Amino acid sequence: MSIYSTVMLAIGLSMDAMAVSISCGISSGRELFNTALKASIAFGIFQALMTSIGWFVGSTFSQYIEAVDHYIALILLGYIGINMIKEGFTGGNEPLSLTSYWLLLTLAVATSIDALAAGISLSSLGISIFTPALLIGFFTFALSFIGVYLGCKLSKIKNLSGTVDILGGLILVSLGIKIFIEHVF
């Protein structure tokens, strides 16, 4: 696999994490740098780790993993997204943010399920995992960091406080549906 193809794979896999990071940035009002750093480290590590795990699992168990991965992503992203939408409509006191390590872990796992499948594919092609996992982790880290800042900028637009939570929730639900549809059809 060429370096160009590997970089394109890394960027493609990091898009889900970046979209979720934008949603986290929308909900983040304070400690922006810490939120961006937590999100980018968690998403970057999980993307690289899940790619590596997928590579090691290889084609032996691929039929079992591929049978449920899209359901897991749909449920996790859908649940979190629906909660954000509900907060946007009700104007709850505490929007979803990355102050909860459980939420961060859930988002990291949900956005890295595609990386697991990519690792399985790389294994079946006989490609070494070191460079792809490193690039996937790096690009996910960088784009997630940027995503939190973009989301924060969106949240500062006047009269959009509830709307941005709804938008962030819709992004998460849409990602879950996208992953589900890509695997079903």
What integer is the mean pLDDT of 87-107?
70
Domain map (residue ranges) of the chain: 3-184
pLDDT tens digits, 128-181: 899 999 999 999 999 999 998 988 887 777 555 567 667 767 877 887 788 788
Secondary structure in 3-state letters for the chain = CCHHHHHHHHHHHHHHHHHHHHHHHHHCCCCHHHHHHHHHHHHHHHHHHHHHHHHHHHHHCHHHHHHHHHHHHHHHHHHHHHHHHHHHHHCCCCCCCCCCHHHHHHHHHHHCHHHHHHHHHHHHCCCCCHHHHHHHHHHHHHHHHHHHHHHHHHHCCCCCHHHHHHHHHHHHHHHHHHHHHHHHC
In the chain, pLDDT over 90 holds for what percent of residues?
A: 18
pLDDT at 164: 62
Global pTM? 0.72
